[in-house]
Structure formats: C-alpha cells, structure tokens
Amino acid sequence: MSAADWYAHKSLGDGLFWIQERFYQSENRANIWLLRGTHQDVVIDTGLGLRSLPEYIDANGLLGKDPQRKNPLLAIATHAHFDHSGGLHQFQQVGVHSAEVDALANGDNFETVTWLSDREIAVAPSPGWRARHYKVKAVQPTHILQEEGPMEAWAGPGLCINNLSSSSCLGDVINLGDRQLTVLHMPGHSRGSICLHDHDNKLLFSGDVVYDGAMIDWLPYSQVSDYISSCERLIGLVDSEQVDQVLPGHYNTFGAKRLHRLSSAYISRAGTCPAKFSTLVWRTLSGLALRASNPRCAC
C-alpha cells in the first residue's frame, strides 16, 4: 500500500491540516497535525509510521511550493507513545520533551507503550504484515523541548530568540515565523507530555493531555498528581481566555468550555477512592502486559 492510500487529510484553513491513518481503525488512532509557517513548518505527532508521512505530505503539496523555504519539516511528538511517535524516524528534525528523549533514542517499546493488534489494522500496509512485528523504531531527537529555556535565549516575555538551529534546549517558544508555538510541559498521561499553545490564535495542540474521551492515567510513567496539576493549568488557560479551540491527540476538536469541563471532571474524579483503586489495577495489568509483549525493553 502506498502512502497516498494509507493517509487522508483535511484542510482547516490558515495553513493547518488534519491528517489521519485511514486503515488504523482504533480508538488509539492519533490525530496528526500539520502547521505551515513562513519560517518553519511543523508536524505535530506522526502516527504509527507504517507508511511514509513525509512522502504523503510532499505528494499532496501540503507545504506549498516556496523555493525560498530553507528549514526541513520539524516533527514534534507531544509524547513518546507509539501511536504518536511511530513515524518520527522518517524526519530529519525531531523534537520531544527532555523527559522522553531516552525512550525514543533507545527504542524503548515499554515506555512507548507499544501495543498493537491485527484487528486494529483494517488493511495490511504490506503483504504478510503482522502487528506482533511492529515496534517503534529508535530515533535520536535533534531538538530537546523544555518549558523553560536558558536565560540567554530570552529577549523579553514570550519571545525566545533561539531559532531551532541548535540541537540543545529550545526554550519554550518554537518560532514558525508568522506564528509562535509555546511548549507547555503537562505531565500526567506520560512524564514528557506537552501541549503546544499558539497564543495569538488561541489554539491548543493538546496531545493526550486532554481529548474528548476518558483520560488515561494508568500507563507506565503516568502520574495522577501531575495530571491533576496539568488539568489545573488547562483550567487557568480557559479562565484567562487564552484558548478558543483545542486540537487534541484523538477524536474531534472542541472549544474552551469543553476543555474546562473535561479538566474539571478529571480533577473531581481522580481524588476518589474508586478512581485510585481502578488506576492501581489498570497500571499493574498494563505493566505486566507490556513487559510480556516487549521482553527486551529497558523496563
């Protein structure tokens, strides 16, 4: 199967594209977001990587035909889980939070929670393909994302002059030229989970920190207390009118009121005894299952 068949996309206007893997028919299917800028283009999350995402983007002309464009497409993972990071190895520039650099560099399929079944793939990407052979390929991130950068990178509030040319800490603002993406470290779902905030346009690329579904806090390296703090920050973004639209890691987009409701509901539920017990049980079971399916992982 070609990349042209494997993916599909929809333009949301203003240089923003929503890409999905057509034949990965699972609740784990991640949204892939492509955002064009005058200086730098970014793809936010990369799916399973079973077919070439850069090939699809190029074949469909999603980056335009600007001969002056100098910077290669930057692929950013909102976190290291397999459904978001599987295609990172296909890109020259790769960004991920510092907490999950080692997981990707080592191809740690325990921390990337690599868990795929044949029934989730409606049409095999190649003859004889089987889910049990799928692994996240190791990739060395070229850009290490953190929320707070070195002081010398700052030229005033909200302005980072580090321009992606360095492989060291980026600071917390990714400069696309005509728009800026602020890196917000929002752990809980995973230890390196981030959101990317387009402050001027009030857009929030939320990864798996929040989406319109049950929020998962029982995977390896999930942490409920961190998740509560992250949800409190999300509520703060809504209360300060900094978000109008959320572009999540799964399912459909939604607005600020829904973001507030989802975050508040998690905080209310997470502190209850039934929720604590359920999280403990699911964390134990998921850890055992992942170790069994990835026996050579760095657990």
In a domain? residue 299: no
Domain of residue 47, CATH code: 3.60.15.10
Residue 13 pLDDT greater than 80, yes or no = yes
Predicted pLDDT at 80: 97
Contact 184, 148 (CB under 8 A): no
Residue 120: how many CB atoms within 10 A of its CB? Answer: 17
**pLDDT tens across 230-244, in order?**
999 999 999 999 999
Predicted pLDDT at 135: 94
pLDDT band at 1 (very low <50, low <70, confident <90, very high): confident
Predicted pLDDT at 285: 56
Residues 6 or more apart in contact with residue 140 via CB below 8 angstroms: 94, 104, 105
Provide the domain count of the chain: 1
In a domain? residue 105: yes
Among the ranges given (56-70, 85-99, 154-168), the one the predictor scored with the smallest mean pLDDT: 154-168
In a domain? residue 264: yes
In a domain? residue 192: yes
pLDDT band at 151 (very low <50, low <70, confident <90, very high): very low
Residues 6 or more apart in contact with residue 136 via CB below 8 angstroms: 49, 82, 85, 86, 104, 107, 109, 112, 114
Residue 169 pLDDT greater than 90, yes or no = no
Distance (Å, whole) CA 24 – CA 147: 32
In a domain? residue 102: yes
The strand ranges marked E within 168-264 are: 173-175, 180-185, 194-198, 203-207, 245-248, 254-255
> Which carries the bigger pLDDT value, residue 278 or residue 111?
111
In terms of phi and psi (left: phi > 0; alpha: psi -120 to 50; beta: otherwise), the region of 58 is alpha
Predicted pLDDT at 163: 39
Predicted pLDDT at 161: 31
In a domain? residue 155: no
Predicted pLDDT at 71: 80
Predicted pLDDT at 162: 43
Rounded to two decimals, the pTM is 0.86
Contact 109, 297 (CB under 8 A): yes
Task: Provide the residue range defining the domain that includes 7.
Answer: 3-147+172-276
In a domain? residue 250: yes
Residue 9 is given by DSSP the state E
In a domain? residue 166: no
197 has which bridge partners?
Answer: 182, 204
